[in-house]
Amino acid sequence: MNHSLAATAARFSLVLASTASLGLAQLPQSDAPPQSPVGLLKSPGMPRIYWGQTTRFTSAWNPAAGIAFDGAFSWADDGDEDGVALDLNVAELTMQGSISPSWWGNFALETNSEEVELTESALFYMGLAERTSFRTGKFFIDFGKQMQIHVHDLMTPQRPAVLREYLGTEVPGTGFQLDHWSPIGDETAFRFSLGLFGEMEQHGHGFLFEEEGHGGHGGHGGHEGEGEIEPLLEDRRDFQDLIITARATAMTDAGENGILQVGASYRGIPEFAFEAEGANLAGDDVDFDADGLDSSVFGLDLTYGWNSPDGTKGWTAGAEFIRAEGTLNAEIVNDGTDQVALELFDGDAQGWFAYADHAWNQQNNVGIMVSAFEHLEDERPEDLEYTAYWTHFPTEFTRVRVAAIHMDREEGEDAQALMVQLTGYIGAHGHPYNW
Amino acid sequence: MQRLLPTLLAALAALVAPGLGAPRAAAGSGEKLQVVTTIPDLADIVRRVGGDEVEVKAIARGFENLHTVRLRPSHMVMVSRAKLFVQVGLALEHGWVPGLLESARNSRIMADGPLNVAEDWPYLIEVPLTLDRSTGVDIHPLGNPHVNLDPRFGAFAAQRIRDRLKELRPEAAAAIDANCAAYEKEIEQRGQRWKRVAALVKGRKVVQYHKEFSYLCLANGLEMVGALEPQPGVPPTPRHLAQLAKQMRAEGVQVVVHGPWTPGRIAEDAAARGGARAVELPVMAQRDNGETWLDFMDRLHDGLLAAWDLELPPEEEDSSR
């Protein structure tokens, strides 16, 4: 990576110019009622659980609190082993509330019985110009239609395979993000977001199959053989080395009952390193490292949603194309002697997913999803994942889902799973998703 | 890419920034007041009271469950440009209006808040004694919010809308007062026919699918025996439907009423088991054909007559219309 001073200045000036242009001089001087800053208008493909009261409880002074439980009974055969499992995928505690007319905050703590993770802790400022918000803290990155959404809230049983591989199951970042939307004509809304992050995690739970290629900071890594490879971000870096996310999307009325949305997303990591500890064939400890690495992930998404005039029936179809470039993975290899080395996968890979979902009333919907991707390895073997599911909402606050998943692997044994998932919500369950 | 990206984003910001001040700049005097309402009923009443001072758009089309209206990008755009947002209130629209207002991020609407026309509705019914999800899912802490089906709603809403419009357009206060008075007089005239319908159906027993016709039933003297939903927002269960069918037969219930959004087949099956007939009634005015609240109320009362195969005497109908 060769970052010029000009590039640094360009980024910094971009942030300043954007902030200034969004009207700092227009701070509202009013007794505005508490409002959350990010829209919960449900665009096609967003969690269906958010159809009404689930997202809000009146709370005059105390933050609105809620607990979500998501568990599954599953049978899986991933080629190496098979059997049943009863898992608590996640128990989540959320709190949200206004701080002042212009500030709002939210918080989410998750556990899967093994570890506790802070997945969201963010402050939002709404005192900028019309239709603009600024958030800072820890929150899910704005990439495509899905990455803002927690796994337990997805329309589908799990994150599409291509997103798990290239970005991660859940990707909270620590940084700040500017978000703005503008009308175009009377029927179209255009939104963009720009985020800068010092840290970006990648974690998940509820996987049915063991998967390789997931690490910690930076969203890269893998493990092969003896050594555990840990991608690292420096605690303090130059400004231009912060992780950047950007998204632009437009959503428009499509006929009397349809909505069409298109979007483009970017996540860039300009500076990271792979570090690993391992042992050579002689049994000596060896440290590996490679620094000055960078990677980028691009996405294009298209979503169409249709609802019957009474709003009780609907179709949703969507697709995303994902392309990853740069240094995407690493593994420890040996050349047949006692010498071992860290081998980087430096190149590009791509994948996609598509889904269709049909709701025949407010309580039931069925769907299918297909996802294909090239593994982040030199040979780039392809995996193809098929998912079919039926989701039933006994009430607005409970969800039962039955799913069947098949993974067609170019290398290795195919895998399949059956799952019954139960999700329940106590109290408010609002995440600051944006369309 | 590292150099290209900032350039692209800067261009994006430059593209969007010039339009940021547009909504406030367009708020000059002489222009019509942009008003958005949740339901067509309110849009019609705002039009009648505001007259030439207002330009009104409604979000719901007239077929939806008012707790779960599906929103569209055009709704977000219209709210972002509005100077006044009008809803029924009483948590009728609380499942989707907050999200819409938050998405639209219209600082004026967020600062003033929506006009909740039923905020001080004096005839509240079905107010829960405790707020507990074990007693139901579709909880309305303030009571049954479906007040737009009450014949008294038109005049009540008109007066609240009149007061807010006069605050926003004080220079047109006299015209707004005159419009409101004329509208209330028309409601009074049209309401005579609704009272005759009430006299015909009074005392008859009815079951609802969702308790959205309670105000209509009370206004017409109908006896509400039960609802297909065991608790508001909870879909009918086999056990509850079986018990209700016995009760319907025992009490001689002849009609099960349901809205356009509820599953008609379930209502028909339940009605058949209870020896009754299922009748679909409108729950709000229809937006796309320009139906007024008064015409909607006529249609609603015609639906009551048809439910029991009743007819108003011709001479009385002619004199009331």
Task: Yes or no: say if A431 and A94 are a contact pair by the CB < 8 Å rule.
Answer: yes
Q: What is the mean pLDDT of residues B177-197?
A: 97
Task: For residue A200, give the amino acid letter.
Answer: M
Domain spans of chain B, in order of start: 19-122+138-189, 191-320
Instruction: Tell me how far apart the alpha carbons of residues A90 and A305 are, in angstroms, rounded to a whole number.
Output: 29
Which of A345-349, A389-393, B170-174 shows the lowest mean pLDDT across its residues?
A: A345-349
pLDDT at B9 over 60: no
pLDDT at A161 over 80: yes
pLDDT at B58 over 60: yes
Confidence of residue A310 (pLDDT cuts 50, 70, 90): confident
Contact B73 A7 (CB under 8 A): no
Contact A10 B3 (CB under 8 A): yes
Quote the percentage of chain B above a pLDDT of 90. Answer: 67
Question: How far is the alpha carbon of B114 from chain A, nearest alpha carbon, in Å?
Answer: 10
Q: Which residues contact A10 (CB under 8 A, 6 or more apart)?
A: B3, B6, B7, B10
Higher pLDDT, B230 or A246: A246
Query: Residue B256: what are its φ and ψ, rounded to 5°?
Result: -115, 120
A263 domain-assigned = yes
Task: Yes or no: say if A232 and A200 are a contact pair by the CB < 8 Å rule.
Answer: no
Question: How far is the alpha carbon of B101 from chain A, nearest alpha carbon, in Å?
Answer: 8
Number of domains within chain A: 1
Q: What is the CATH number of the domain that holds A80?
A: 2.40.160.10
Query: Residue B115: what are its φ and ψ, rounded to 5°?
Result: -85, 115
Confidence of residue A223 (pLDDT cuts 50, 70, 90): very low
pLDDT at A311 over 90: no
Nearest residue, CB atoms, A40 vs list B68, B103, B139: B103
A434 domain-assigned = no
CA atoms within 13 A on the CB side of A397: 21
Q: Which residues contact B64 (CB under 8 A, 6 or more apart)?
A: A309, A310, A311, B70, B261
A21 domain-assigned = yes
Question: How far is the alpha carbon of A24 from chain B, nearest alpha carbon, in Å?
Answer: 11
Residues of B in contact with A42 (CB under 8 A): 70-71, 99
Question: Which residue of A12, A15, A26, A35 is the best one to mutate when testing the B interface, meaning the one whose CB has the most B CBs within 10 A?
Answer: A35
SS (H, E, C) A258-279: EEEEEEEEEEEEEEEEEEEEEE
Confidence of residue A10 (pLDDT cuts 50, 70, 90): low
pLDDT at residue number A59 = 54
Q: What's domain B19-122+138-189's superfamily in CATH?
A: Nitrogenase molybdenum iron protein domain (3.40.50.1980)
A245 domain-assigned = yes
Q: What is the largest CA-CA distance in chain B?
A: 82
pLDDT, tens digit (0-9, with 9 covering 90-100), for B242-267: 999 999 999 999 999 999 998 889 99
Nearest to A147, CA basis, from A281, A223, A45: A45
Q: How does the average pLDDT of chain A come out, rounded?
A: 81
Task: For residue A338, give the amino acid letter.
Answer: D
Q: Which residues contact A30 (CB under 8 A, 6 or more apart)?
A: A101, B107, B111
Query: Residue B30: what are its φ and ψ, rounded to 5°?
Result: 95, -20
A306 domain-assigned = yes
Give the residue numbers spanning the domain of A318: 5-28+37-58+65-427
Residue of A nearest to B65 (CA): A310
Question: How far is the alpha carbon of A197 from chain B, nearest alpha carbon, in Å?
Answer: 15
Contact B77 A21 (CB under 8 A): no
Question: How far is the alpha carbon of A381 from chain B, nearest alpha carbon, in Å?
Answer: 26
Size of interface A-B (CB pairs under 8 A): 191
A363 domain-assigned = yes
Which of A41-45, A369-373, B29-33, B194-198 shows the lowest mean pLDDT across its residues?
A: A41-45
Residues of A in contact with B230 (CB under 8 A): none
Instruction: Tell me how far apart the alpha carbons of residues A355 and A122 are, in angstroms, rounded to a whole number.
Output: 31
- Distance from CA of residue A276 to its chain's centroid? 26
Residues of A in contact with B103 (CB under 8 A): 39-41, 435
Instruction: Tell me how far apart the alpha carbons of residues B107 and B188 are, in angstroms, rounded to a whole number.
Output: 38
Question: How far is the alpha carbon of B197 from chain A, nearest alpha carbon, in Å?
Answer: 28
The 8-class DSSP code of residue A429 comes to: -
Question: Which residue of B76, B78, B210, B234 is the best one to mutate when testing the A interface, meaning the one whose CB has the most A CBs within 10 A?
Answer: B76
pLDDT at residue number B4 = 45
For the ranges A50-54, A120-124, A360-364, B19-23, the maximum mean pLDDT occurs at: A120-124
Nearest residue, CB atoms, A183 vs list B24, B77, B101: B77
Question: Which residue of A13, A43, A53, A184 is the best one to mutate when testing the B interface, meaning the one whose CB has the most B CBs within 10 A?
Answer: A53
The 8-class DSSP code of residue A336 comes to: S
Q: What is the CATH number of domain B191-320?
A: 3.40.50.1980
Instruction: Tell me how far apart the alpha carbons of residues B161 and B88 are, in angstroms, rounded to a whole number.
Output: 11
A74 domain-assigned = yes
Which of A408-412, B51-55, B195-199 shows the lowest mean pLDDT across its residues?
A: A408-412
A432 domain-assigned = no
Residues of B in contact with A192 (CB under 8 A): 12, 16
- Distance from CA of residue A162 to its chain's centroid? 12
Contact B99 A363 (CB under 8 A): no
Q: How far is CA A291 from CA A230, A244, A294, B278, in A?
A: 12, 19, 9, 72
Q: How far is CA A103 from CA A122, B25, B97, B263, in A?
A: 10, 26, 20, 42
Two domains, one topology: B19-122+138-189 and B191-320: yes
Which of A171-175, A255-259, A307-311 shows the lowest mean pLDDT across its residues?
A: A307-311
Confidence of residue A332 (pLDDT cuts 50, 70, 90): confident
pLDDT, tens digit (0-9, with 9 covering 90-100), for A38-95: 445 667 777 655 445 555 555 556 778 889 999 999 999 987 788 999 989 899 999 8
pLDDT at A209 over 70: no
Query: Residue A410: what are its φ and ψ, rounded to 5°?
Result: -70, -35
Contact B111 A312 (CB under 8 A): no
